Amino acid sequence: MKLLRAPLVHRLLGIVLGAVFLYASVDKILKPGDFARIVYHYQVIGPSQWVGAWAPNLLAIVLPWIEVVVGLALLTGVWRREAALVAGALLGVFVVAVASALVRGIDIENCGCFSVSGEGRGAGLALIFGDLAMLAAAAVLAFVPPRSQEPATVVTSEATAT
Amino acid sequence: MRSSTLRVACLLAVGVSLGLLWNSFSGRGIALAKNVFIKAEDEVIEAKAAKARLDKGALFLDARPIDFWKMERIPGSFPLPENDFEPAFKKLEPRLRSTFDIVIYCSGFGCEASHLVAARLRERGIHAAILHEGWPAWTDAGYPTKTGPDPES
């Protein structure tokens, strides 16, 4: 617990997580059409008879750039806590999407995580565990305050209590 | 806490704006309301690729006149005859709109029905691939077929 509150650990976690998010965004940004196809394959937000193509298309357009912004924030440490909240939410959505595809028996050859063209990494249990590990890192950044940010008053009140 | 919410909203807003700007001005963008599978040209696939898609649960459509479908068909296929398109389409529409892995075949050797059906589906925003040389390509490859008039395949 003490280690998790070390500012250095926060900075390192932010750099690693931010680098992963930035790296993940590049191919999707270069080939939005291919990424949109992958989003379709998950069959989570369409296209379906109820939702047209706009919902998955919008996601394919916007998601990589949110990854860029969040990645940059995590990497530089500006608004790290908030960026980690968004990153954690995204990872949570990814886990649910992959798990639901697995449960429904949808074979997703390319998960659309990093590379969107050709045969990418499949969507399976290993992917879920990888995402959960990153989710844990994001949770630490979002909910465990680093020591330096702790207000001095808390320390004194603890001292008086004992 | 309030400033945190604002910052989260701000991060999302910047990401969304960048995405929309990039989509509009980079030259790599996609049409927001259009199915990205739909291209100006037909997607034509060979029997082997079609079989692989069937095994993965692709929806197969038979563009031949309905009697051919009743006699013998690719397993799991639905009839969408070119010469009687509208009623069959109405029946199939919910199914067609919930999938994007659709393959059409017709009687082969340059038959046009698959292409005509694909074009009509494209007008309605649905993408379907065409099995090259249709039915004979399928049977020559020794892939399974189904016979009998039962409606639900």
Q: Per residue in A37-95, pLDDT tens? A: 889 888 888 777 677 788 999 999 999 999 999 999 999 999 999 999 999 999 999 99
DSSP state of B42: P
pLDDT for res A88: 96
Provide the pLDDT for residue B60. 95
> What is residue A148's predicted lDDT score, i.e. its pLDDT?
64
Predicted local confidence at residue B27, as pLDDT: 87
Encode pLDDT of A112-134 as tens digits.
888 887 666 777 888 999 999 99
Residues of B in contact with A53 (CB under 8 A): 33-36, 125
- What percentage of chain B reaches a pLDDT higher than 70? 93
pTM for the whole structure: 0.69
The stretches of A104-124 forming alpha helices (DSSP H) are none
Q: What is the mean pLDDT of residues A1-29?
A: 91
The verdict on a CB contact (< 8 Å) between A66 and B11 is yes
Show residues of chain A in contact with B93, CB under 8 Å: 49
Q: Quick one: pLDDT at residue B104?
A: 95
Quick one: average pLDDT of B114-131? 90
For residue range B46-87, list pLDDT tens digits in order: 999 999 999 988 999 999 999 899 889 999 899 999 989 999
User: Structural domain tally of chain A?
Assistant: 1
**Partner residue facing B29 (CB), from A32, A65, A68:** A32
Chain A: closest CA distance from residue B56 (Å): 8
| Cα A75 from Cα A56, distance rounded (Å) | 28
Annotate A62-92 with three-state secondary structure.
HHHHHHHHHHHHHHHCCCHHHHHHHHHHHHH
Distance between CA atoms of residues B145 and A130, nearest Å? 42
At B2 the pLDDT is: 74
Provide the pLDDT for residue A7.
86
Each residue of B90-113: pLDDT tens digit? 999 988 888 878 999 998 776 788
pLDDT of B151 higher than 80: no
Say whether pLDDT at A157 is over 70: no
SS3 B73: strand
Proportion of chain A in helix, strand, coil states, percent, rounded to 5: 70, 0, 30
- Please tell me what DSSP assigns to residue A3: G
Instruction: Give the model's pLDDT for residue B150.
Output: 65
Check if the beta carbon of residue B22 is closer than 8 Å to that of residue B29.
Answer: yes
Q: Do residues B127 and B37 lie in contact, with contact meaning Cβ atoms separated by under 8 Å?
A: yes
Domain that holds residue A18: 3-161
Please report the residues numbered 59 through 118 in chain A whose beta carbons come closer than 8 angstroms to any beta carbon of chain B.
60-70, 73, 79, 81-83, 85-86, 107
Contact B29 A85 (CB under 8 A): no
In which band, very low, low, confident or very high, does the pLDDT at B129 lie, cut at 50, 70 and 90? very high
